[in-house]
Amino acid sequence: MHTCPRCESKEATVVAKSPVEGAWEVYMCPVCIFTWRSIEPETITNPEKYNRAFKVNPDDIPSAENVPALPARYIK
């Protein structure tokens, strides 16, 4: 498990490894669906250095607006 730089959940997993062994891995966070590559700059990979304007609070995700809106039959 890896820490998501964007929402800081600890649940990110490896979704791909480089075809050339050992070059990089790609991780994905199941909470905010952020994806990043291990060799990206620290402003992308490091939770402390990730741009604050783009941080995601996991508590806000369920209330994100639906685009497009759901038809009535799916509204709980």
Partner 1 sequence: MAYKDFRDFLSTLEKEGQLLTISDEVKPEPDIAAATKAMSKMGAETPAMLFDNIYGYTDAKVAMNVMGSWPNHALMMGLPKNTPLKDQFFEFARRYDQFPMEVKREETAPFHEVEITEDINLFEILPLFRLNQGDGGFYLDKGCVISRDVEDPENFGKQNVGIYRMQVKGKDRIGIQPVPQHDIAIHLRQAEERGENLPVVIALGNEPAITTAAATPLLYDQSEYEMAGAIQGEPYRIVKAKDSDLDIPWGAEVVLEGELLAGEREFEGPFGEFTGHYSGGRSMPVIKINRVYHRKNPIFEHLYIGMPWTETDYMVGINTSVPLYQQLKEAFPNEIVAVNAMYTHGLVAIVSTKRRYGGFAKAVGMRAMTTPHGLGYCKMVIVVDEDVDPFNLPQVMWALSTKLHPKHDTVIIPDLSVLALDPGSSPAGITHKMILDATTPLAPETRGHYSQPLDSPLDVDKWEQRLRELLK
Quote the CA–CA distance of 46 and 51 in Å, as a whole number.
Answer: 10
Q: Per CB under 8 A, which of residues 14..73 are in contact with partner 1?
A: 15-16, 18-20, 23-24, 26, 28, 32-37, 39-41, 43-44, 51, 53-54, 56, 61, 64-71, 73
Applying CB under 8 A, which of residues 5, 6, 8, 12 lies at the interface with partner 1?
Answer: 6
List of residues 6+ apart from 65 with CB closer than 8 A:
none
The two three-digit tokens of residue 49, written as one number:
């250095």
Give whichever of 10 and 23 is closer to partner 1, judged by the CB atom.
23
Instruction: Please list every residue from 7 through 46 that binds Zn ion, using CB under 5 A.
Output: 7, 9, 29, 31-32, 34
Maximum distance among all Cα pairs of the chain, rounded to whole angstroms: 49
SS3 29: coil
Q: Which residues bind Zn ion (CB under 5 A)?
A: 4, 6-7, 9, 29, 31-32, 34
